[in-house]
Copies of this chain bind each other. A is one copy, B any other.
Amino acid sequence: METAVEPHAPLADDELRRLNAYWRAANYLTVGQIYLMANPLLREPLAPAQIKPRLLGHWGTSPGLNLVYAHLNRTIVRRDLQMMFITGPGHGGPAIVANTWLEGTYTERYPSVSRDEEGMERLFRQFSFPGGIPSHVASEVPGSIHEGGELGYSLMHAYGAAFDNPELIVACVIGDGEAETGPLAGSWLSNVFLNPARDGAVLPVLHLNGYKIGNPTVLDRIPQEDLLSILRGYGYQPYVVAGDEPDRVHQELAGTLDRALDEIAAIQRRARGTGVVERPRWPMIVLRTPKGWTGPREVDGRPVEGTFRAHQVPLSGVRDNPEHLAQLERWLRGYRPEELFDATGSPVAEIAGLVPRGDRRMSANPNTNGGQVLRDLTLPDFRDYAVAVPEPGGTTAGATTATGRWLRDVIVANPDRFRLFGPDEVASNKLDAVFEATDRVWLGAQRAGDDHLGPDGRVMEVLSEHLCQGWLEGYLLTGRHGVFTSYEAFIHIVDSMVNQHAKWLKTTRGIPWRRPLASLNYLLSSHVWRQDHNGFSHQDPGFIDHVVNKKVEVVRVYLPPDANTLLTTMDHCLRSRHYINVVVAGKQPSPNWLSMDEAILHARRGLGIWPWASTDQGAEPDVVLACAGDVPTLETLAAADLLRRHLPELRVRVVNVIDLMRLQSEAAHPHGLPDTQFDTIFTRDKPVIFAYHGYPALIHRLTYRRANHDNLHVRGYQEEGTTTTPFDMVMLNQLDRFHLVVDVIDRVPGLGARAAHLRQAMVDARQECREYTRRYGEDAPRVAEWRWVGTRS
């Protein structure tokens, strides 16, 4: 029966003793980090001044993490495994730091934190200390790809790391609190997308210690048979290890890990030997040990070990309360540090000898420093995928369609290091050319009528933005490349995940040994203006605003207006490093404005005047029509055309913005346009009517320091919409060509009677379109007439 223990005791007495000594050492170092700033080896009685003034950290989860880490090391050494460790309860920072110090990796990365008494004091002092290191398994920690401050994403990161890493085993400790989150609950079935032949393995360890901050955990308090039923249903073979007697738990865990790793090996042999790739039943472990195990049983008469009170700092009054101080000293001495560290403070040989060598140490696994193993993509020349544009607006294409063809060949050229992720929207977003070359990865059952499913697919589709994001993050963090394509509105689902990844990118820029990663690339389509089968619920262009709040060093936003600009933009993004690139582009057929050569130049500049659409003849214009985004560009060009034909004396300048960050000042963003250039393009005092894809406030925000910002009038999404025609959508939000013309007339002084006449015609045209659409259910034919009609002779 799967919940039973191995009958034998796999650890010989001496091995058990040494393993337990390692665990005691890790626990000692954990407690030391939380409490001590001096006297690390307790060479003298503890004194209040040796205690940190602010006690900050999380003890509760740490002994369990240390236990699992120690036992995984044993299996790595015995089996010569490539393994990495993901700490779901990332607040157990001191535990993981302790292990990396015992392994020597910490000292290799940070030589001043030497493996001796002086280094141990530094190690202790720096933890959660001003100027020191954070309390979580942050990017500073060798071997970490997962900080875990926000809970929910450990298992998806683990799977992401395992894809296309056939020799890797990703051990993933999931805290019982984290297991309550939706994203984690949705992660278990990632095994439907894991190919045992070409991917690595994930070994989930669900650590039930019973409590969160103040509450029990749900999975700890449902019947164990129900818990196992869930996990079995998700396709795992769960093994339970439970107890609070260390020796017994050591034996059980060692035996269970041996069994699990045997099964993983057998699964992989079967899949790789026979070529028959099926979804196996992967082993996993449920570990039940007390929260804050080996810590104080009681404090001030209240139970602590095994309760929620062990979550953070069990003894909180150590500096001022002599009883707490004495209890801390007893706690620390209970680990018998004198047996664990030699006279210099180094781990004794029998402990140091337990850790794997070199890159086999989980903290030194090269995959955990993804930039180190990153190989450039082989990119087919995007120019070969260009659409022909004999003249602006002369041809029509779906922007994503052309890029889909290019992505198809990116996939072909990089079969081992690039994947496309999407929540069941790759085809809907018109990237379906990729299926000419590959499948959707799928290890579940198949039926007649299924479309391009297979175990070797390079497209990962699951109806969970969380999983797409988490898998991709794990994939990028271990040195590979990818693109996430989603409906624009629903990418907000991963807002908080983006926050965490942006923070990772920001902090790792300051860590010399961390090498740059491939960028996290979003291709958002079915955007606010064109998601025709759906209505208001599918309209939200605010992800851009969310991303722009992140550190400017890591954030890029692109709004290519047509097919060729999208191609060159995507090529740029896939070559870039360590950014979050947000690209928003349409999927519906729409006019192409720029030839490939023009597109490359325009994208490189990021924004520019489109002289062929302007009537300012290179002189100072009367008004600037600016635009960003495909639909706003279409409306702006149509408005420019209306003005050109009906007010030919008006000098109109059309400016298109593809790189939104160019709008910011040089000081605010590395892409920021210098003020002089900005003023040259946008003028210092002429009205600027800016048609923007998203919420108008962002344009004001980006430009508020510019000289001409008082004259900036932005049209964008006003949170108005429903299921209606595309043109009705822009009318509902006053972004339509007619309204833009009205805006111009209202803002350029002294235009006279002809302009007033045109203004009324525009108002009438809106009304006419409105009524026609409501009557006939489609856009008035005249909308197509009132369009950009090609270059002037």
Interface residues of A (CB under 8 A from B): 37, 52-54, 56-58, 90-91, 125, 128-136, 138, 147-152, 177-178, 180-189, 192, 210, 212-218, 221-223, 226-235, 303, 306-308, 312, 424-428, 440, 442, 444-451, 453, 461-464, 466-467, 489-490, 492-493, 495-496, 499-500, 503, 506-507, 532-538, 540, 542, 545-546, 548-551, 695, 697, 700-701, 704, 709, 719, 722-725, 728, 773-774, 776-778
Contacts and interface: CB of A to CB of B under 8 A. Distances in A.
A444 B150 contact: no
Nearest to A135: B723
A533 B58 contact: yes
Contacts of A451: 214-215, 308
B189 A180 contact: yes
Majority SS at the chain A contact face: loop
Contact of A463 (B180, B221, B537, B709): B180
B499 A492 contact: yes
A218 B54 contact: no
A446 B719 CA distance: 47
A56 B500 CA distance: 38
B181 A186 contact: yes
Most buried by B among A221, A425, A451: A221
B537 A447 contact: no
A134 B226 contact: no
A471 B136 CA distance: 30
Nearest to A281: B226
A540 B499 contact: yes
B177 A537 contact: no
A176 to B, nearest CB: 9
Contact of A428 (B213, B506, B551): B213
Contact of A728 (B130, B214, B235, B506): B130
10 contacts: A37-B777, A134-B723, A135-B533, A135-B535, A138-B535, A149-B534, A150-B489, A182-B186, A183-B186, A215-B442
A595 B499 CA distance: 38
Contact of A181 (B133, B466, B499, B722): B466
Contacts of A700: 700-701, 704
A-B CB proximity, top 5 nearest: A149-B537, A182-B186, A230-B233, A229-B233, A221-B444
A545 to B, nearest CB: 6
Given A181-B466, A212-B424, A451-B214, A150 B493 contact: yes
B503 A492 contact: no
Most buried by B among A303, A466, A549: A549
Contacts of A493: 150, 152, 495-496
Nearest to A223: B445
A537 B192 contact: no
A229 B232 CA distance: 7
A724 B551 CA distance: 20
A537 B503 contact: yes
Contacts of A221: 192, 442, 444-446
Contacts of A464: 180-182
B449 A306 contact: yes
A104 to B, nearest CB: 25
Contacts of A180: 186, 189, 462-464
Given A233-B230, A537-B503, A182 B467 contact: yes
A427 B532 contact: no
A726 to B, nearest CB: 10
A101 B55 CA distance: 64
A472 to B, nearest CB: 15
Contacts of A178: 463
A777 B490 contact: no
A188 B234 CA distance: 14
A377 to B, nearest CB: 26
B217 A226 contact: no
A179 B492 CA distance: 19
Contact of A777 (B54, B150, B186, B697): B54
Contacts of A466: 181-182
Contacts of A449: 303, 306-308
A561 to B, nearest CB: 23
Contact of A701 (B136, B229, B312, B697): B697
A533 B447 contact: no
A700 to B, nearest CB: 5
Contacts of A210: 447
A185 B181 CA distance: 9
B453 A216 contact: yes
A489 B533 CA distance: 34
A218 B233 contact: no
Contact of A53 (B186, B538, B776): B776
Contacts of A551: 719
Given A135-B535, A150-B537, A192-B222, 12 more contacts: A91-B533, A129-B777, A181-B464, A181-B466, A192-B218, A210-B447, A212-B463, A214-B428, A222-B235, A227-B233, A489-B496, A551-B719
Contact of A495 (B133, B215, B495, B534): B495
A549 B528 CA distance: 14
A183 B58 CA distance: 27
A184 B181 CA distance: 10
B697 A549 contact: yes
Given A463-B177, A503-B536, A537-B500, A214 B427 contact: yes
A231 B503 CA distance: 37
A426 B442 CA distance: 42
B130 A773 contact: yes
